[in-house]
Structure 1
Amino acid sequence: MEVSLLGRVFASMALVGLACFLFLLYNIMWLKSERLRGKLRKQGIEGPPPSFLYGNVPEMQRIQLTARKASNSNHGEIVAHDYTSTLFPYFEQWRKEYGAIYTYSTGIRQHLYVNHPDLVKEMNQSVTLDLGKPSYVTKRLAPMLGNGILRSNGLSWAQQRKIVAPEFFMDRVKGMVGLMLEAAQPLVRKWEDQIEAQGGMTADVKVDGDLRGVSADVISRACFGSSYSKGKEIFSKLRSLQKAISEQGFLFGVPKYGFILIKKRREIRNLEEEIESLIWEAVKERKQECLETSSHEKDLMQLILEAAINDHNLDKDSSKRFIVDNCKNIYFAGHESTAVAASWCLMLLALHPEWQGRIRAEVAQVCSNRLPDANSLPHMKTMSMVIQETLRLYPPAAFVSREALEETQVGNISVPKGVCVWTLIPMLHRDPEIWGVDANEFKPERFSDGVSKACKFPQAYVPFGLGPRLCLGRNFAMVQLKVVLSLIVSKFTFSLSPTYRHSPAYRMIVEPEHGVHILLHKI
């Protein structure tokens, strides 16, 4: 009798516990998001109706699958530069249904999509620290970026920007042109050797890996006082880590569970530990070099070391974390996006040989011995136009993203706390209402009078972002692209290889999934 009574008590307690758990789950998974959606609906902002637990993720996956099947059936057609319909088709479909501003959800997260130029400008130029990088995305990127400048928010971000930004001011970048030439010239010799090895006339070359090597060498020499050979293992492991994180669907995917995920997390954790160990070894070497030499010109690693030492709020462990995280950020951001931009640039120039000729003539006119220097770079107007058009069609960063850390006003929209605001940059860069009916075509001449005259709303051109979160490496990337491309175009003519397969892929940045293969002809 007592045992039976006790069993009923335990059963009742279990039912109450289950009911409480289900209510809590319902509150977290539905009511919270529904309250946020309600605040947006009151402002006239609608969006696709979400499902319980997963929000709009099932619909996003269905739209993505349909787009992928359509893309596969069209394989072999001429290169089409509008890849948003295959990489991010749900944004395109919802924009047609709900306009330039709409809301959608992924699991418990509520998002606001904005494709209006004025609101994009407001979001980018906002100086409030209450609008930061989305925490759930940066959490998934933590193994790659730590709490460095690309991931941090608030005062931590402001402090790191103060340290890092001066290293990439134009007067500093101009002093790096010699290093960029030193890093790029072995690439030219390598490609010349490949032409000789393949008969002396033409070579079929996959360029993106070589360009990544040049870019990595430049950032190593310029910012860390070491050549690419010393940092080669760091860059290789960063690349592996980038791929591993991208395979998890870190941007909009709902977390999954199981043996495969556990295995992938173990791989990510191991890579993270190996990268941090290698960086810390380089840091210790740099410390020793600083003690043994008294150079007046400090590189970025020395500035980071000094900042960590002089910050009394950082203990020994925090100081080490600060140094390693920022080195990871600069190693990754300083070479990956520039190398990918150079790859897309060569792909577009291979399709448009007339622009190769224009650049070649310009380099011959403004550069002595056809070698660029700090004084000749500002006069490369044609080169600038080609790079700007490449970054319009293939911006390495696909999104501008922010999270309202507190309720924040963006233009005429009150963004509730916890809502993530997104802008898809390549869609903004292809909007016919902003760029004209030829928005999907490669036409560098649209930039002949600068960005302000290239389109209807100049604030809609954001390959490097705008405002306080403007990419710190903008000057560095533009100068490096001019140096590398001027050397290549001066030495070679080139066309797309028959083996090239046009398939942009999103792996934290938009890159050529199968690489860029070109046929090189020595001049």
Structure 2
Amino acid sequence: MALLVELFETGVTVACGFFLEHYVLVGLGLLFWLAGRLLEKLWWKPRRLERALRSQGLRGTSYRFLVGDLPLLGQKASSKPWPLRCHDNAPRLAPFLYNIAREHGKTSMFWFGPMPNVVINDTSVVKEILSGKHEQIVIPKFEVFGKLLGNGLSSQDGEKWVQHRKIMAPSFHLPELKLKLSAFSSCCQDLVSRWTNKCIGMNNGGGSCELDIWPELRNLTGDVLSRVAFGSSYLEGMRVFHLQEEQAERLMSAIWTTAHPAFLYLPIKNNRRMHQINKEIETIIRGIIVERIQAMNEGGCTRQDLLDMMLESNLSGIEGNDKSSSGMTIEEAIHHLKFLYFAGMDPSAVLLTWTIVMLSMHPEWQERAREEVLGLFGKNKPTYEDMSRLKIVTMILREVLRLYPPTAQMKRKTIKEVELGGVRYPAGVMIDIPILLMHHDIDNWGNDVHEFKPERFANGVAEASKNPGAFIPFGAGPRICVGQNFTMLEGKMAICMILQHFQFELGPSYTHAPHYVVTLHPTHGVHIKLKAI
């Protein structure tokens, strides 16, 4: 019996040793496999892509393990004052991209972590990229960015993009916008009345005042967006606007200081705050959607705004989260509204802000624009037909968009090998289309490229530059921004009504120091002296 027990104990010991040794070997094998995958992703693949690009004559920075050029990409525009009337913006607003292109050529590469980025500042190649004819080139998916700021049309591809654009685009077509023009003018009239009361309230005998127009114009464009797209007052959505502004600043700061998007999921203070903001925004928007669906189910009168069109596209699909539906699920609707709360307001406010700054710096153009406006409208509210006849104001808005584009660059990504401009790009390459550099390229615009000269657009966009396709503030091709008509019409209405009622100049405390926070913001606000007329 004792022998049997001894044999049993020996067998158990041997078996345990065998299984322990087996699991150790499995663990070591798994560890080596993971290490190999990491080495492939973080070293071997980047080096292969670098060799493939350099063998075709591309120049640029060399890959550095894991971080690439991230330490240099964090360079920001200087917060120090710029000289007034200085519009040489590229080296200040995008110093890294500017230096890469100057040192290595218009087609050059750099590294966002282990991801190769090729900057292409060739209008003919850019036109080909944006034409949509290359299925090997797609919109890159920045999952964290989309989750926190919203997945709008600009981040979608394929059939989903086609379906959702069909739903959303009609709200931004000119016939629909013409019907909503009264909302535009009503919001602008509120702004004019508020500014007039401030000027009168100063009681200095001159009917003038000084104020920071940056938050004022953000409130204006937020009010317009709410009334036109959401059928609600600005105050109802103000919390979302402010939260999205904070979200964008935190997110962009985090992106430039981390080597990989996975770092944005770490439970550090900034990341926790971003996810808290996101939860609050989604709760507010979900509440708006649920309230609207209930009203529609009860037979209530719909507002026929953008939200209505989204909900009516497939109400059953939204209620059931039917992914096979051609409409939108409730989660998709939330993401579109999140993105619109940011993208529908910010570019318009940016355009209006820098237009007033430019007209303050260049008073001769302010007077020419005012003469045109008063000649067409007098002190009456502008109509759509009359605004379509604006020539000088349109030239000014386009020149502002050229010198101060709301977005510095667009991105695409190769998922298969593709040939562009005589270069074969392998799969896995990010393509940067540097809008800011293209708008400030002497080869596109001539020796006066950095001067504010609206007359270059006197014969339209097509003849404004030496190379067709060099002016792309809203993108180009089939994916051109769906909201460009909205932004331009809103800009014309607001500028016309401000010119009708005020003369303006830069305040003594104004500091010219733009910087990009997704879009082009004034670092220190925009203090303007207004005089009621």
The TM-score with structure 1 as length reference comes to 0.90
Q: 1:446 aligns with which of 447, 456, 474?
A: 456
- Alignment CA distance shift 1:76-1:507 (3 Å): closer
Indicate the RMSD between aligned Cα atoms, in angstroms. 2.8
State the Cα deviation string for residues 327-364 of structure 1 (Å, max 9, x = none): 11222211111011100111111111111111111111
Alignment of 1:430-509 (within 5 A): 430-509=440-519
State the Cα deviation string for residues 57-106 of structure 1 (Å, max 9, x = none): 24445xx38xx6xx56x746334222321332122222122211112222
- Alignment CA distance shift 1:172-1:50 (3 Å): same
Using the alignment, how far apart are the partners of 2:240 and 2:397 within structure 1?
28
Q: 2:377 aligns with which of 367, 370, 377?
A: 367
Match of 1:218 in 2: 224
Matched residue type, 1:134 = P
1:130 and 1:154 in contact (8 A); partners too:
no
Using the alignment, how far apart are the partners of 2:119 and 2:530 within structure 1?
42
Q: How far off is 1:454 after superposition?
A: 0.9
Alignment of 1:74-473 (within 5 A): 75=81, 77-135=83-141, 137-145=142-150, 147-200=151-204, 201=206, 202-249=208-255, 254=260, 262-291=268-297, 298-309=304-315, 311=317, 315=321, 319-367=329-377, 369-473=379-483
1:106 and 1:252 in contact (8 A); partners too:
no
Q: Aligned to 1:243, what secondary structure does the other structure show?
A: helix
Using the alignment, how far apart are the partners of 1:463 and 1:417 within structure 2?
27
Matched residue type, 2:54 = R
1:493 and 1:520 in contact (8 A); partners too:
yes
- Alignment CA distance shift 1:239-1:258 (3 Å): closer
Using the alignment, how far apart are the partners of 2:54 and 2:361 within structure 1?
46
Q: 2:53 aligns with which of 40, 63, 66?
A: 40
- Answer with 304-313 or 211-220: which moved more: 304-313
- Alignment CA distance shift 1:217-1:50 (3 Å): same
- Alignment CA distance shift 1:224-1:385 (3 Å): same
Using the alignment, how far apart are the partners of 1:248 and 1:510 within structure 2?
18
Matched residue type, 1:152 = Q
Q: How far off is 1:114 after superposition?
A: 0.2
- Answer with 167-176 or 386-395: which moved more: 167-176
Number of corresponding residues: 512
Matched residue type, 2:68 = G
2:214 and 2:353 in contact (8 A); partners too:
yes
Q: How far off is 1:43 after superposition?
A: 2.7
Using the alignment, how far apart are the partners of 2:425 and 2:165 within structure 1?
26
Using the alignment, how far apart are the partners of 1:252 and 1:42 within structure 2?
30
Matched residue type, 1:37 = E
Using the alignment, how far apart are the partners of 1:142 and 1:131 within structure 2?
22
Using the alignment, how far apart are the partners of 1:356 and 1:381 within structure 2?
13
Alignment of 1:11-90 (within 5 A): 19-61=32-74, 64=75, 71=78, 75=81, 77-90=83-96
Q: Aligned to 2:388, what secondary structure does the other structure show?
A: helix
- Answer with 473-482 or 20-29: which moved more: 20-29
Q: Aligned to 1:298, what secondary structure does the other structure show?
A: coil
Using the alignment, how far apart are the partners of 1:259 and 1:311 within structure 2?
31
- Answer with 169-178 or 247-256: which moved more: 247-256
- Answer with 270-279 or 251-260: which moved more: 251-260
Using the alignment, how far apart are the partners of 1:302 and 1:337 within structure 2?
23
- Alignment CA distance shift 1:312-1:184 (3 Å): closer
2:319 and 2:330 in contact (8 A); partners too:
no
- Answer with 368-377 or 430-439: which moved more: 368-377
Q: Aligned to 2:412, what secondary structure does the other structure show?
A: strand
2:405 and 2:436 in contact (8 A); partners too:
yes
1:211 and 1:339 in contact (8 A); partners too:
yes
- Alignment CA distance shift 1:149-1:251 (3 Å): farther
Matched residue type, 2:59 = E
2:223 and 2:234 in contact (8 A); partners too:
yes
Could you tell me which runs of 5 or more consecutive residues in structure 2 were left unpaired when the two chains were aligned. Answer: 1-12
- Alignment CA distance shift 1:48-1:357 (3 Å): same
Using the alignment, how far apart are the partners of 1:233 and 1:9 within structure 2?
58
- Alignment CA distance shift 1:288-1:368 (3 Å): farther
State the Cα deviation string for residues 154-188 of structure 1 (Å, max 9, x = none): 22222111111111111111222111011111111
2:296 and 2:302 in contact (8 A); partners too:
no
Q: How far off is 1:132 after superposition?
A: 2.3
Q: Which is greater in Rg?
A: 2
